[in-house]
Structure 1
Amino acid sequence: MEKEKVPQDKGNLTQNNLKELVYATDENGNYTTALSTGWEPKTIALSNSIEEINERIAEARQQVENGEVSPICYFMEVNKMDLTILSSYVGLWKWRVKRHFKPAVFAKLNDKTLQKYADAFGISIAELKNSKTI
């Protein structure tokens, strides 16, 4: 894309007066950098992704409140993690982490294991255990 044609559409970045660094070609055809305030298709895709994430967080919150899953599921969604990422952060096999999604199993976890989850989520054990913080 030519430097003069770098999109300057209103997007998520314009709300905070931010600009994104992009690569473009100058008048000689050489690559250079340019600043862009946004590009409509990218803004739409990003908005859709954020909306989907928020829906997943709300669903996880409801499942915790209904006693269907443990708070680990909720905090995993809030932190935009999946099972593979979370298991690597806490140093446990995926099947064990998935087992901890069960409220009955979660209730029996020791503080050492809970601390691993709390550290991964950047919260305290008390916040992890207290579903009212959700």
Structure 2
Amino acid sequence: MKKDQVPQDEGNLSKNNVRELLYATDEQGNYTTALSKGWEPKSIALSNAMDDISERMELAKADFKAGKSSPIVYFMEASKMDLTILASYVGMWQWRVKRHFKPSVFAGLSDKILQKYADAFDIDINQLKNFKAD
């Protein structure tokens, strides 16, 4: 894309006066950098992704309140992680992390394991232990 064609659509980035650095070509065809306020298709995709995450967080809260899942599921969604990413952050097999999604298994986890999750979610261990889903 040419430097004068870099999108400048008002979007999620422009709300906070943030600009995105993109590569473009100048008049001579050489690569250079340009700042963009945003691009409408990208803003729409980002907004849709955030809506999906919010829905999954609400579902995780409802499942926690119903006794179907542990707080790990909620914090995983809130941290924009999936099972694969969370397992790598806590240094455990995916099947083991998935097992910790069960409330009965979560209740028996040691503080050492809970601390690994708290560190991955960047929260205090007490927030994980005393999650209320309000």
Shorter-chain-normalised TM-score: which range? over 0.9
Q: Which residue is equivalent to 1:35? A: 35
Q: CA deviation at 1:87?
A: 1.2
Q: CA deviation at 1:131?
A: 2.0
Q: Which amino acid aligns with 2:31?
A: Y
Whether contact under 8 Å (1:127, 1:133) holds in the other structure is: no
Runs in 1 of length 4+ with deviation above 3 angstroms? none
Q: Distance in 2 between matches of 1:38 and 1:91?
A: 37
Q: Which residue is equivalent to 2:102? A: 102
* TM-score (ref. length: structure 2): 0.94
Q: Distance in 1 between matches of 2:33 and 2:84?
A: 36
Matched, 1:130 2:130: yes
SS of 1:29's equivalent? coil
Whether contact under 8 Å (2:67, 2:103) holds in the other structure is: yes
Query: Across the two proteins, how many residue pairs are aligned to each other?
Result: 134
Superposed CA RMSD in Å reads 1.2
1:1-134 to 2 correspondences below 5 Å: 1-132=1-132
Segments of 5+ residues of structure 1 without an aligned counterpart are none
* TM-score (ref. length: structure 1): 0.94
Q: CA deviation at 1:133?
A: 5.9
Whether contact under 8 Å (1:3, 1:34) holds in the other structure is: yes
Q: Distance in 2 between matches of 1:49 and 1:82?
A: 14
Q: Distance in 1 between matches of 2:131 and 2:15?
A: 33
Query: Given the superposition, is the C-alpha separation of residues 61 and 133 from structure 1 closer, same or farther in structure 2, using an over 3 Å criterion?
Result: closer
Whether contact under 8 Å (1:11, 1:43) holds in the other structure is: yes
Q: What percent of counterpart residues are identical?
A: 66
